[in-house]
């Protein structure tokens, strides 16, 4: 998971923290598919706090 987060230009610690805060809202093994899609490391809907700062 950490490598997938890094490959998608995310900060692993912030991403995992966000995931846990979001997943706790749903019963175990019953997270709606649409919500899971929003939580994937490649999702454009992740908050900016999870993303690495873009540098040129």
Q: What is the pLDDT of residues 39-50, one digit of tens each?
A: 999 999 999 999
Q: What is the C-alpha separation between 15 and 7, in angstroms, rounded?
A: 12
For residue 17 the two structure tokens come to 């923290």
Q: What is the model's pLDDT at position 53?
A: 84
Q: How far is CA 44 from the centre of its chain?
A: 10
Examine the pLDDT at 55 and tell me if it is beyond 70.
Answer: no
Q: Which residues 6+ apart lie within 8 Å of 47 measured at CB? A: 18
Examine the pLDDT at 56 and tell me if it is beyond 50.
Answer: no
Q: What is the C-alpha separation between 15 and 20, in angstroms, rounded?
A: 9
Helix H segments across the chain?
A: 2-7, 12-23, 33-39
Q: What is the pLDDT of residues 6-41, one digit of tens each?
A: 999 999 999 999 999 999 999 988 999 999 999 999
């Amino acid at each position: 998971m950490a490598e997938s987060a890094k490959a998608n230009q995310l900060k692993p610690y912030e991403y995992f923290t966000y995931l846990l805060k979001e997943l706790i809202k749903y019963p175990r093994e019953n997270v709606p598919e649409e919500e899971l899609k929003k939580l994937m490391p490649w999702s454009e809907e992740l908050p900016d706090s999870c993303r690495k700062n873009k540098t040129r």
